[in-house]
Amino acid sequence: MSFGVPGQRSLAGPDSSDSQRRQRNDTMNRAAPATTVLVLGLGNDILTDDAIGLLVAREVRARLGSGAGIKVRETTEMGLALLDEIVDCGSLVLVDAVQTGKVPPGHVHEIGPDELPQVTATSPHFLGVGETLALGTSLGLAMPRQVRIFAIEVADPFTLGVRLTPAVEQAVTVAAERVVAQARVFATSPLPAPAL
């Protein structure tokens, strides 16, 4: 079963051998996720402030180095394709851009998955993070048991460009510090029991 977009990588794509496909399916269908902490930066590095999640992930990687049971990744994927990234990690720290207009650019929102709005989507290609987590759980996939989301308020996530706006650029360091602290807490805490 593939959750990706046609033409993009997937967990069991056409290039996978049967044994690789079976191994991936066995991994995805386990009831318990691995104990790994995943820091996942989301964004698009050619849409000005939308790159903030990717840049924070890079800063987190530089601060953490290797080891410590914490993996740091970046992705431009969204919706269902995020399942490929988050299945089988025990804890997830997600970093992304948000534009609420309620606080100044550069403000770092910190929320849990239960605080995400569940939006009824007309297409599976437009699922938000909350819906993606809920879908993975309802499919019986090994989803993260601990999730924390850091959403950085942005000024301009739509203009083509490779530089952040000044206020958002200043938030990279602050956001990275908070993400590193949360990842370390997850890495040293036992996983909670799975929800029934």
> pLDDT tens across 107-161, in order?
999 998 778 765 444 444 457 888 888 889 999 999 999 999 999 999 999 999 9
Q: Give pLDDT, residue 163.
A: 95
pLDDT (average), residues 174-195: 90
Strand partners, 161: 47
- One DSSP character per residue, 138-160 reads HTT----SEEEEEEEE-S-SSS-
- Cβ–Cβ under 8 Å, residues 113 and 130: yes
Whole-angstrom Cα distance, residue 42 to residue 61? 14
Go through the domains of the chain in sequence order and give each one's CATH number: 33-188 (3.40.50.1450)
Whole-angstrom Cα distance, residue 170 to residue 52? 10
pLDDT at 89 over 50: yes
Q: Give pLDDT, residue 126.
A: 55
